[in-house]
Each structure stands twice: as structure tokens, then as C-alpha cells.
Structure 1
């Protein structure tokens, strides 16, 4: 009986040790994890027709583990320092939902300010989401603070504001996709624009 009790304590200690080691390695940056959860929360502003519970299902806030955002879908981190380097939120919705958006003028009022917290971000894809002009007034004007951003895809969205002055200071940008920029309509301001920038 005594040996079972001793074995039980050793097992508990081993489990605690494994848990502590997991906590120390492979965990994303806390501020970036919170920013991703804010981005996911913004989906709840969409009309009831959209079942947002099926979107970004791995983006969860676990009370114990805090959730390692480097293992979340559509996210890539630098293996050396665990900073988020790639966010791909392209085409979050089903084709019939996108048709509904187009036909009924539904738009995603995305607050851009959480994206400014990803200091190592190299690639950001927000295409095919019918994002509206809210993105401009909530932080896109401070995009230049992401001085490592090389790829930005904003294609097939409903941003009607001229964003070129906001992108000018972003000297690290190498690829910019603004194709079908105003939803399915041809935008005379932008037309179809896909730019490869060189240093």
C-alpha cells in the first residue's frame, strides 16, 4: 500500500513537471495571443445569419494552458522566438455567405488596431472577407509600425477609402494585392492592382 502511495505521488510530480516544461516552451507571446482573440471576437459583430462558432475553432482561451497561438489555424510563428510572423485570414466564409454579403451589402467592420501588436509580422492576408472602411480609421493609418511586413493582401474587400497614402511609409512591403478591391465591382480608383515592390 505504501509503494502505491509513493508511486502515485511520483506520477503526480511527473505530470506537473511535464506541464511546467510545456508552459516554458512553444508558447506564443501573451500580447499577441490576446490580439488574436480580439480579432476573433470581432466576428461576433456579424449578422446572426453567420455561424461564427465554426470560424477559427482552434483560437481558444484555455484557462490553464492559456492556448498556444503558434499552433492555431491560419497562424505561423517564428520557431526561435515564438512571435507571430504570418496571419492568413483569407476567405473565412463560405461561397454562399459571400454571395449574401455582396447582394445585401453586409460588411465586416474589422478593427485593425490588434494587428499593430504583431511586431514580427511578415505576411498578412485579409482577402475575400468584405472588410469595410472601419479598417482605415482603426489603425491602418499606423501600418508603418509593422516594419517587417513584406506581404499584404487586401483583395476582394469593400474598402473605398484611398489607402495609398497610408501604405507609403511601409518601406518593408514587397507584395501588395488590391485586386477586386471594392468587392465584385470594378473600382475606378484602384482597378485591378497587384504590385510586386522591389527595394
Structure 2
């Protein structure tokens, strides 16, 4: 046998592994299953294994639409208990024209870790959005419509925050005019006539946006 290069990426090397080694191993030793990580799983790999009468145990990548849909459709309360802290639901799939048994598994510990990770990510995202809004507040717009549009576009892009308050206000410019008056009033501020528009507001963390943006991935296949 010729070993695979340690520098070879799994997705590219698995077809070579299947073509070169599986038949040899079956002939020499015989085995029932190939066990591998999710890099094994693709339509082509599944077909090759099936054509070679090889059974396999692996994870299904989250990038596969059918797998993602199964996870989204699964209700935790309806899953069958396994051991303490774990539940599972079985599905049947014919991905890659091969009948398979998929198992969606829920873990309480994994959920807790995922939620902690989400909290950290959301807190960081909220800080970044506050910084971006501070920069927006520092801009001056030539017209009210431009300021309102900028505020609307900014709000639509928020992922972890919401506005507690917001408004567009008129910015009036002044100049210091020297006074020749002898009544003691001194220099006066005079409007220049130039008008701009500013956005103002207060951002707060949004629980609703937080849940919609990054619901913890607590189910697996």
C-alpha cells in the first residue's frame, strides 16, 4: 500500500483512498464499515462506496441542504431520549442515490456551550455596531432625506442591536462676529445660513435580533 500524503486535504484524498485501498483491504482482511469524518461525505464518495458494497459511518456536512432542513425541522421535545442529556431522531435519506439512516442528535452540554459562544459573539457584534454608529453620527448630510436614508440603511443591517431611540436633527452653523459696540456685549455668534443634517440615537442589545441572527447550533447528524 502507498500511504496518502500528510499534506493532502481530506476532500481531495478520499476518492483516492476509496479507489486504491478499500478493495485491497476487503480482499486481504474483510471489513464491514468505513468510519470517517465529514470530509468523506459527498454524492460521488457515497456512490463509490455503495458500488463497492462498502457500508460507512460518517457525519453529514451542514452545507448539504437536506441535512440543514432536517435539523431545522427537528423539535427537541419530540426526540427520543438516549442517555442522560442526549436525545435523537432518525431519518431516512437517499442522498447520492443511496439509502441511508441519518441520526440527528441533541446534547444539553453542547447547547450550553453553543449558547455561551453565541453570547460572546453577539456582545462583540453589538460593540462593533455601536462603533459604526458613532462614525455615522459624526457625518453631516446636506439634506434631511439623505440623513434619513442613511439611518434606515444602517438599521436594516443591524444583527445584534436595535435602536432605543433615533432621530434626524438640523445642524445649524454659526460664526463669531466681532462687535464694535460700546455697550459691553462683545462679540456675537451669528448664523451662517448653512444648514446640515445629523443622525442621533442610542443602540441597545436586541434579544430578538440575537436569536434570529445566531441561534445556537445544538443539533448534529
Fold shared per TM-score above 0.5: no
Relative to the length of structure 2, the TM-score reads: 0.25
Relative to the length of structure 1, the TM-score reads: 0.27
Which has a greater percent of strand?
2
